[in-house]
Structure 1
C-alpha cells in the first residue's frame, strides 16, 4: 500500500507541498534562489512555519526578484524588520540582500545559477531509493561541497544541513520513500542533464 512520507502529516498545506513541490526537479534559477533563501530563513525553525508565511515573504521581498533586492540597503532592512508576516531576523534579511547580488553575478555566467547548483549532481537528480524506516540523511558530502561553494560566492545561512534540505526540496535528490505515492512520479522526471 502506498502512503505519503510521514513528515508531511495531514496538514493540507504540507500535504499539497509534499505532493506537488517537494522533490520535483527545479531548473529555473530564480525559483532555485527563492527556495534557497527560504531554507535559510527556516534555519532553527520548522519548514511548515516558512510554508505558512511564504506568500508574505514573496510580498515583502518583491516576489524574490534579485534585481530589485540587490539594490536594497538599511532603509529596506528596517522596513522588513517591522513586518510581522516574515521571520524578522536582521542577519537573515541582510544575507538575502547579499545573496541577491551573488545570484546576479552567478546568473551572468555560463549555465547561470541553475547550472551552478545542478553541477553538484552532474545535472541529474540523485535517487536514494529510501525504504520505509530508513534514516534520511541530514547532510551529505555533496551538500557540504555545495555549502562551501555557496559560501565562497558570498551566501550565508547555507550550511550543509540547509543545503541538503534545499537539495531535497528542489529535486536535486529524490528522498521520497519508495513506499510514497509520489516517489515513482518524481523519479521519472529527471533533471537538466545538459550542463
Structure 2
C-alpha cells in the first residue's frame, strides 16, 4: 500500500531520503535565523563538486564538527582544530573547504556587525521578499542567475570564499530567497 508521502507530487530531485524530508520541510522555505543561514552557507560551500545528497547524509557530522554552526566558535578554530577536522570521517575532509568555513565564519560575524544581521545583508538582495519562479521541470532551473552573480561578487568583496554564483544560487534556493519548486510540486503555491 502506498503512503501519502509516496504519492505526493514533488520536485523531480526529491525521490528518496534524505531529499524528501529536506524538500518537504526546508528547501525553498524563507529562512531568517542567522544560525540557520550560517549552516546553509557552510553546507552549500561543502557541496561544491558533490551531490547535495552526500552533504545531507553528513549533515549531523557537520553540525557536530562545526559547533552546531555557531559562527563565533567556528571563527576561533585554530590549526589544531583544523587537523582534527581533516581526520573527521563524518564530514568532507577537504582542507580548502574547511579553511573556507572558518574564514566565512569570520566574515559572517563582520557582516552581522555591519548590517545588524546576516539575514538583513543576504535578504536585502531580494528586498526581503522571496522571488517566485514558475518552472515546469527541474531541468529548467538555472544553476546561477544575474542576481546570484551579484551576490557572489559582493560576498567575495566582503572576504567570503567558496561563494561562486552557483553556490550562491543554491543558497538562495535553500533559504527560500527564490521559490524554485516546480509548478507540479505540491509546495509550488505555498
TM-score scaled to structure 2, two decimals?
Answer: 0.93
Partner of 1:67: 72
Partner Cα distance (1:184, 1:160) in 2: 26
> Compared with structure 1, are the counterparts of its residues 104 and 113 closer, same or farther at alpha carbon in structure 2 (3 Å cutoff)?
same
Deviation at 1:111, TM superposition (A): 3.5
Q: CA RMSD in A?
A: 1.4
* Aligned residue among 151, 157, 175 for 2:156: 151
Deviations 1:38-95 (A, max 9, x none): 0000000000000000000000111111111111111110000000000000011111
Q: Please say which of residues 136-145 and 107-116 is displaced more in the overlay.
A: 107-116
Q: For 1:26-65, what aligned pairs fall within 5 Å after superposition?
A: 26-65=31-70
Partner of 1:24: 29
Of 166, 171, 174 in structure 2, the residue corresponding to residue 166 of structure 1 is 171
Q: 1:8 aligns with which of 14, 25, 34?
A: 14
Residue 37 of structure 1 and its aligned partner are, at CA, apart by 1.0
CA distance in 2, matches of 1:134, 1:128: 13
The residue number in structure 2 matching 1:188 is: none
Distance 1:139 1:162 in 2: 8
Aligned residue pairs, count: 184
Task: Give how far 1:132 is off.
Answer: 3.5
What's the CA shift string for 1:69-126, capped at 9, x where partnerless?
Answer: 1111111100000000000000111111111111111112234111110011111000
In the superposition, relative to structure 1, how do residues 83 and 106 fare at CA in structure 2: closer, same or farther (>3 Å)? same
Structure 1 segments (4+ residues) deviating >4 Å: none
Aligned counterparts, 1:55-134, within 5 A: 55-132=60-137
Segments of 5+ residues of structure 1 without an aligned counterpart are 186-195
Aligned to 1:140: 145
**Deviation of residue 12 (structure 1)?**
2.6
Equivalent pair of 1:2/1:179 in contact (CA under 8 Å)? no
